[in-house]
Structure 1
Amino acid sequence: MRALEASKRLSRALFTFNPSYWRSLPSLLPSPDCHRSTADSNGGTCLLRSPWSVSQHRGVKVNASHVRPGNVIEKTGKFYQVIEAQHKQRGRGGAMMQMELRDVDTGNKISLRFGTEEAVERVFVQEKPFTCLYTESDIAFLIDSETFEQLEVALDLFGKASAYLKEGMKVSLELFDGRPLSARMPKRVTCTIKEIHVSTKGPTVTPRYQRAVLDNGVTVLVPSYLEIGEEIFINPEDDSYIGRAK
């Protein structure tokens, strides 16, 4: 009866995200040695003792046409992160989805095709907030904003936006089975103009934009009325100017 009650409470918690359910779960869960998954047979954590592990190994069936880059899908017992998903027409053969996938375990990339209506198991991932402590070489050192646990991740997870990563910046990671899959930065970061490159070619009319070198070494286009030393907001995803910071 206790196992049945725990199962009901867990199901409600997973889909309502009511904090009171999570707080009451530990008192209902069975001992650590019960109901271990096959993957836990070598001493792993019992799924029932980790509500997130339960939800993370759950998924939802969706049509392949609904899969988006960044999603994690399961196929023949293996997990893949979707790098790219393109809708293609095969003439009389109907439409299909061409996907570039990355094996979560090995990092190897493969390309697979799915029918647009083909059922795909999309796995839930966890998004958690972190704070950047510092960067060194090609590694970012982060700290969990909730548990204060430190984590090292490759700067590649942030893509070209990693150039804007600074000490104390709030970021978020998408985790699968405790492993970081992707990282996101704020859509607006503060930078300082260190240099301005004024073009000496072309018409004498003052241009609307000028090239500016920021304190992180990135060159961007900014309005011509801005000067060296000014702080500005930049979108790190495309290096676009947003506005003055002050």
Structure 2
Amino acid sequence: MRALEASRRLSRALLTSASYSRLELLSSLDCHISSSSTAAVGNGGAPLLSSPWSATQHRGVKVNASHVKPGNVIEKTGKIYQVLESEHKQRGRGGAMMQLELRDVDTGNKVSLRFGTEEAVERVFVQEKSYTLLYTEHEVAYLIESNTFEQVEVPLDLFGKAAAYLKDEMKVTLQLYDGKPLSASIPKRSTCTIKEVHANVKGQTVTPRYTRALLDNGLTILVPSYLESGEVIFVSTEDDSYIGRAK
């Protein structure tokens, strides 16, 4: 049942980007996927679909610790870390420093390291790859690469808070290092429908410029008070702020 549903979602996802000749292939897609998952194997004998990652790692240049940002990947003492948070701190006479919250790419363990702001850090560059979201289920996002039909499954927490904006057929980007997904991102804005506008406080004599609104994805944001339930709007997926009405 799930395979049939995924096939239907796949057809819709590819409809806008595939040529007519490719669309003729969709009628036999279920058989193609089934045979590929059992017949296609790698050198180690494991099915290719179970290990679809093929990114190549790229070592970059050394940068000052003050230039390291969340989402970057760095190398320290032979280990590869993804930067989760970076904070500039002042140590009085000791000078400024950078406090980095990191995640070990191999183990998943989180560590906290300190660097001088001018201390050299080796930044590692990662591969970015575009996918289309088929559907989400049980905290997992099912994605497909529309040119190769490569299908992958990634945990929703790779998207962070942006997971609330995920919709079927949305274009998403995976950041990969050495064949492993480190994080995932979505477009900077998304269309949402206002489900409910919170009523103004009783007795208020002046209508406020903004009011709280519940969106169809469950988030509550501030919107102009003239908007009503049922309206479709653009919302920033980076800070959950109102952008404007969807034309």
TM-score, scaled relative to structure 2? 0.72
The amino acid of 1:144's aligned partner reads E
Distance 1:240 1:195 in 2: 16
8 Å contact 2:55–2:179 — kept in the other structure? Answer: no
What SS is found at the alignment partner of 1:107? coil
Listed as ranges, the matches of 1:206-221 within 5 Å are 206-221=207-222
8 Å contact 2:196–2:214 — kept in the other structure? Answer: yes
The answer to whether structure 1 residue 137 and structure 2 residue 145 are counterparts is: no
8 Å contact 2:55–2:176 — kept in the other structure? Answer: no
The amino acid of 1:64's aligned partner reads A
Q: CA RMSD in A?
A: 2.1
Structure 1 residues 202 and 143: CA distance shift in structure 2, 3 A: farther
Residue ranges of structure 1 left out of the alignment (5+ in a row): 1-41, 44-50
- Aligned partner of 1:150 in structure 2 is 151
The amino acid of 1:241's aligned partner reads Y
Bigger relative CO (Cα 8 Å, ≥ 6 apart): 2
8 Å contact 2:132–2:146 — kept in the other structure? Answer: yes
Aligned residue pair count: 196
Q: Deviations over 1:23-56 (max 9, x none)?
A: xxxxxxxxxxxxxxxxxxx97xxxxxxx963xx2
- Aligned partner of 1:125 in structure 2 is 126
- Aligned partner of 2:115 in structure 1 is 114
The amino acid of 1:82's aligned partner reads V
How far did 1:73 drift? Answer: 0.9
| Matched-pair identity in % | 77
The amino acid of 2:115's aligned partner reads F
Structure 1 residues 57 and 187: CA distance shift in structure 2, 3 A: closer
Residue ranges of structure 2 left out of the alignment (5+ in a row): 1-42, 45-53
Instruction: From the CA coordinates, give the structure whose radius of gyration is larger.
Output: 1
Distance 1:64 1:132 in 2: 35
Q: Deviations over 1:49-105 (max 9, x none)?
A: xx963xx24332222222221111112211001112222232333332221111001
Q: Which runs of 4+ in 1 moved over 6 A?
A: none
- Aligned partner of 1:80 in structure 2 is 81
Listed as ranges, the matches of 1:1-246 within 5 Å are 53=56, 56-246=57-247
TM-score, scaled relative to structure 1? 0.73
